[in-house]
Structure 1
Amino acid sequence: MDPRERTPRGVEASARDELKKRFRGDLVLPGDVGYDELRQVWNARVDRRPALIARCTGIADVMAALGFARERGLPLTVRGGGHDIAGNGVIDDGIVLDMRPMKGVRVDPGRRVVRAQAGLTWGELEHDTEVFGLFPVGGQCSTTGIVGVTLGGGISSLSRIRGHGVDNLLSIDLVTADGRFVTASETENPELFWGLRGGGGNFGVVTELEMRLYPVPDIVSGLLAWPMDRAEEVLRLFRDQCATAPDALLLQLFSWVFPPGMGFPDSLVGQTGVAVMPVFHGSVEAAATTWLAPWRALKPALDGIGPMPYHTLQHLFDGMLALRLRQYQRCEFLTGLPEEAIKVFARFSHEITSPMSIVEMANFTGGMASRVPSDATAVARRDAHLFFAIQSAWSDPGEDERHLTWTQSFWEAIRPFSAGGGHPNFLEGDEPKERVADYFGREKYERLRALKRAWDPENVFRRNKNIEP
């Protein structure tokens, strides 16, 4: 039998009815209306069949579903935005705590603080903060979930001027493995607060975040693009500007097959090329007289640089990320971009195997994010020069091997320039567990393990980028 057609084991309708007495949200079993849609995550390569999907509406529902799973010895996982590349938001033969119904937002514009429930995406949260002219230090795209992005570190287009997402958390509410509701902050359970900020969902089911908000005036951004035969000179300028960029300048470089509908000239559409998307917190005049002139001297085939509302930036790539495609990723933090690395990047980008794949480099780790003390949070690699990620995407299952091979080969060729470890939010499901430890480094990883032993000694929360007790 095709494993995708089998009936998941673990929960009968009678057991569901018993749980329903203490659960307010929907409890969805295989065969129920909506089950197949609810079990889907962003990565179409992930096709798992949970025994029960518990659609939590509040803290009491989280406690009830967690207790139900533990009473019956059933594995569980927690689903927020569902964008984790490894598909950890869904599980075979276990219980999914689906947090998406929890979308409460409470903005305090005077204090510039927001309390946001765990089911929100960045777009949903910003919808309620933007009316006050304020934004959180959020993800790179509006459709990802706020909790997974933030607790994994929270790299953002605001990282260089405001620090990462975790650096702007004030408190975290969660339900622990033994069913207790606790708050973690600098003054309440401070060690847990330290570990959650970078250690992700290893210590409990997060129900609400309290985070700072900031006014974000219009930025200077847009795309500069060249055909792939110009890649090496573009990469050299990218390297040189990243080395001296002020806090106000984030530089992102992409290679992919230029799609229609994004302003690319007809000569570039459907062609492999390289693009730079700066995010500058300053005026057009300041941009033109400092960093922008050298880019224009390279005579891009597309120059879309100009004033841009921050709201627009946050939605630029929504269309690409909303498609449910087969996905495979590899990522690294890089120590730099020497000539050998530039040639690797250009060669593999030229050989890209899918028009829906994209490769990214960015200097997220500089500026304010790099000046936060290393021991302030569990987040690591703040001093890395560049973040690098390969995001392969395609639709035909018959092409899996081809795209996986290209991704792995590219990653292996770039690894000699690694600063050690990859960002937890971008780690694939087939990567060895040592990759998690490598990211944190020995000292932080051992501190996180001690915290895990204190809060989740049985490793109930293990369907994640796991820190073993």
Structure 2
Amino acid sequence: MKFSLCILSVVAAVACAATDVATQQKVYKSYTSPDFPRDSVDIQFRQQKNKDSYYDALKTFNNLILPKEFPESALPLAIVTPSKANNKGLEKAIKVASQFGLRVSARSGGYQSGYSSNMAAVDNNREDFVLLDLSKLNKVTINPKARTATAEPGTTGLELYTEAIKYGLHFAGPHTARVTIGGFLLQGGMGIGSRLHGAGVDNVIGFDIITADGKTVYADAKHNKDLFYAVRGGGQFFGVVTKFHLRLVPMVKNPTLVPTYNETSVQIDQVFAIFDRPQGNQLLNFYSKFDPKAPKALENKVVFTVDAATNAKQYLFASVSAAPFNTSSAVTKAQADITKWYKTLPTNFATSDPSTYGGVIHGSDAGWADSDLSYYAEDLWFPVPLDPRLQKVLIKQWDKVPSALSSMALNTGTWDAPTKSALGYDRSYSLCIYSTWKRNGTAAWDETNRRWVDETVKALKPWTLGYYANELRPKKLQDRNYWSKCYEKKTYKTLKTTKNKWDPENIFKSL
């Protein structure tokens, strides 16, 4: 077991949250005892002498709130980072936490828009907790014959895509290839090809999850069905998933049983255009009429961006075929209709030439290439079709965006979801709102960027069906109804029942 100078400092053991010094000592002793599985597990303690190592382990991708800026109640007593899922270290970590009255939270990549893996950001209570960092669990195994994959929660979209496409296969995973699939799938996962194949959770055929008693159980459509339903869309409340079993779909006409393809050899039909600010209303009008009737094999999206060189507002429209090997006459005609339409307008750039699989999976990466970013985000669900008044509000709010690094993405929803899961809101659009900026040391600049999201969400409220639970904005702890806003009423009731059954002591996040 690697401790990185993890020597508990009794002198520095100032009580943080509700855990007294004696309990902290007992937790430390349990995690460092010979009985604790020691193979490839790194543990950092809040009260260790080497605080830099602790903060390094706590660091998230997002600079909105740096670890040293967290309130004391958001600092975990211990951070457990395994590099193997099968050494029983995670099970033991949960058992120890439960034994000493600690809560347990987990993260797969630390991409949260705030610090939502830290209990103080998401729970009304301020109990102390242990953070399980699963980012090093990134093993992927492809079964090309069965067209399935197993993947650990720290696997990035790119790692999964790269392995699957070797056999001509694909998973409806994240638009940004660097995002890890743990958080993506536990909250539903609107991904590449979701309109045709369903959301990411519709393509999860089973998972291994450690529940509150510290034991790993398997759940699928036949085993532990209530857990299978709930975790796919509401996963953070019920346990810690260590492995996903996934259904893959063909991305070429003849998938193979041996590695044959790569991300540049597979061609994808697409139409792509960039419009400047004056064409924004015309684009949204076209989109609202075109998308509902377009073939399911087409994934259509509008991305609101800013030209960094001129600070001018822009709109990107992309229509990508999710089944390029089987492009029907309807798909060909639909993309021809898009091309015919965009040629009637001034465009900053436009093409109807095919892309590559690599171009599609990396299409949203550029905005996240710099690790020195802060972002404050929210995802909303909208009904179909898009209300004309909603379109006007979107343009109005986009005109107010303060940072050129920010973006919004209007994604075609999971239409007629092929499975029943906690995700819900079928036949809807998701709007991803990302206020993205670099901190300059002034609180006013940070507040300006946060306020824009809050004001945009407020302006869009009349059309909002619900909120995507994976894009949690840091909220006031008194907002006891937050999670109920993220799910349909019937689904939320089912989640509460499942929570009471599988986590009666509320070890994991409060629902």
* TM-score interval (norm. to shorter): 0.7 to 0.9
Task: State the 1:14 CA deviation.
Answer: 4.9
TM-score normalised by structure 1 residue count? 0.88
Are 1:313 and 2:356 matched, yes or no? no
Task: State the 1:111 CA deviation.
Answer: 0.3
Aligned to 2:124: none
**Aligned pairs for 1:12-411 within 5 A:** 14=29, 16-18=31-33, 21-24=36-39, 25-29=41-45, 30=48, 31=50, 34-48=53-67, 49-56=75-82, 57-59=84-86, 60-90=88-118, 94-217=129-252, 218-221=267-270, 223-259=272-308, 269-281=310-322, 282=324, 286=333, 288-322=335-369, 323-335=371-383, 336-366=385-415, 370-372=416-418, 376-384=420-428, 386-396=429-439, 397-398=442-443, 399-411=445-457
Aligned partner of residue 33 in structure 2, secondary structure: helix
Conservation of the 8 A alpha-carbon contact between 2:105 and 2:131: yes
Check 1:215–1:97 CA distance in 2 against 1; reply closer, same or farther (3 A cut). same
Task: State the 1:176 CA deviation.
Answer: 0.5
Q: Distance in 2 between matches of 1:259 and 1:279?
A: 25
Q: Distance in 1 between matches of 2:247 and 2:215?
A: 26
Alignment root-mean-square deviation, CA: 2.5
Gaps of 5+ in 1: 261-268
Check 1:53–1:286 CA distance in 2 against 1; reply closer, same or farther (3 A cut). same
Conservation of the 8 A alpha-carbon contact between 1:23 and 1:65: no
Check 1:39–1:222 CA distance in 2 against 1; reply closer, same or farther (3 A cut). farther
Task: State the 1:288 CA deviation.
Answer: 4.7
Q: Distance in 1 between matches of 2:35 and 2:278?
A: 61
Aligned partner of residue 405 in structure 1, secondary structure: helix
Which whole-Å deviations, capped at 9, do the CAs of 1:375-429 have from their partners, x for residues lacking one? x222210122x211211011225212212222211221122122x2111122323
Conservation of the 8 A alpha-carbon contact between 1:77 and 1:88: no
2:392 partner letter: K
Task: State the 1:165 CA deviation.
Answer: 1.0
Conservation of the 8 A alpha-carbon contact between 2:194 and 2:200: yes
Aligned to 2:481: 434
Aligned partner of residue 461 in structure 1, secondary structure: coil
Conservation of the 8 A alpha-carbon contact between 1:224 and 1:302: yes
Aligned partner of residue 331 in structure 1, secondary structure: strand
Q: Distance in 2 between matches of 1:229 and 1:8?
A: 57
Task: State the 1:225 CA deviation.
Answer: 1.2
Check 1:163–1:8 CA distance in 2 against 1; reply closer, same or farther (3 A cut). farther
Check 1:259–1:316 CA distance in 2 against 1; reply closer, same or farther (3 A cut). farther
Conservation of the 8 A alpha-carbon contact between 1:136 and 1:213: yes
Check 1:26–1:439 CA distance in 2 against 1; reply closer, same or farther (3 A cut). closer
Of 186-195 and 39-48, deviating more is: 39-48
Of 76-85 and 174-183, deviating more is: 76-85
1:429 partner letter: P
Q: Distance in 1 between matches of 2:190 and 2:198?
A: 8
Q: Distance in 1 between matches of 2:160 and 2:418?
A: 25
Q: Distance in 2 between matches of 1:287 and 1:242?
A: 10
Task: State the 1:326 CA deviation.
Answer: 1.8
Q: Distance in 2 between matches of 1:118 and 1:417?
A: 33
Q: Quick one: which of 391, 394, 417 aligns to 2:463?
A: 417
Task: State the 1:193 CA deviation.
Answer: 0.9
Q: Distance in 2 between matches of 1:94 and 1:295?
A: 54
Conservation of the 8 A alpha-carbon contact between 2:374 and 2:438: yes
Aligned partner of residue 161 in structure 1, secondary structure: helix
Q: Percent identity?
A: 24
Aligned to 1:453: 500
Conservation of the 8 A alpha-carbon contact between 1:41 and 1:87: yes
TM-score normalised by structure 2 residue count? 0.81
Aligned partner of residue 139 in structure 1, secondary structure: coil
Q: Distance in 1 between matches of 2:367 and 2:34?
A: 39
Task: State the 1:291 CA deviation.
Answer: 3.1
Which whole-Å deviations, capped at 9, do the CAs of 1:439-459 have from their partners, x for residues lacking one? 322222111111111000111
Task: State the 1:273 CA deviation.
Answer: 1.5
Task: State the 1:91 CA deviation.
Answer: 5.3
Q: How many residues align?
A: 445
Q: Distance in 1 between matches of 2:299 and 2:335?
A: 15
Task: State the 1:177 CA deviation.
Answer: 0.5
Task: State the 1:104 CA deviation.
Answer: 2.0
1:80 partner letter: S
Check 1:182–1:356 CA distance in 2 against 1; reply closer, same or farther (3 A cut). same
Aligned to 1:263: none
1:98 partner letter: D
Conservation of the 8 A alpha-carbon contact between 1:232 and 1:342: yes
Conservation of the 8 A alpha-carbon contact between 1:256 and 1:357: yes
Task: State the 1:86 CA deviation.
Answer: 3.6
2:130 partner letter: I
Check 1:438–1:19 CA distance in 2 against 1; reply closer, same or farther (3 A cut). farther
Aligned to 1:265: none
1:78 partner letter: A
2:404 partner letter: P
Conservation of the 8 A alpha-carbon contact between 1:39 and 1:90: no
Task: State the 1:222 CA deviation.
Answer: 5.9
Conservation of the 8 A alpha-carbon contact between 1:173 and 1:184: yes
Task: State the 1:105 CA deviation.
Answer: 1.9
Conservation of the 8 A alpha-carbon contact between 2:115 and 2:474: yes
Aligned partner of residue 111 in structure 2, secondary structure: coil
Q: Distance in 1 between matches of 2:406 and 2:163?
A: 32
Q: Distance in 2 between matches of 1:221 and 1:6?
A: 58
Conservation of the 8 A alpha-carbon contact between 1:204 and 1:461: yes
Conservation of the 8 A alpha-carbon contact between 1:231 and 1:274: yes
Q: Distance in 2 between matches of 1:169 and 1:18?
A: 37
2:487 partner letter: F
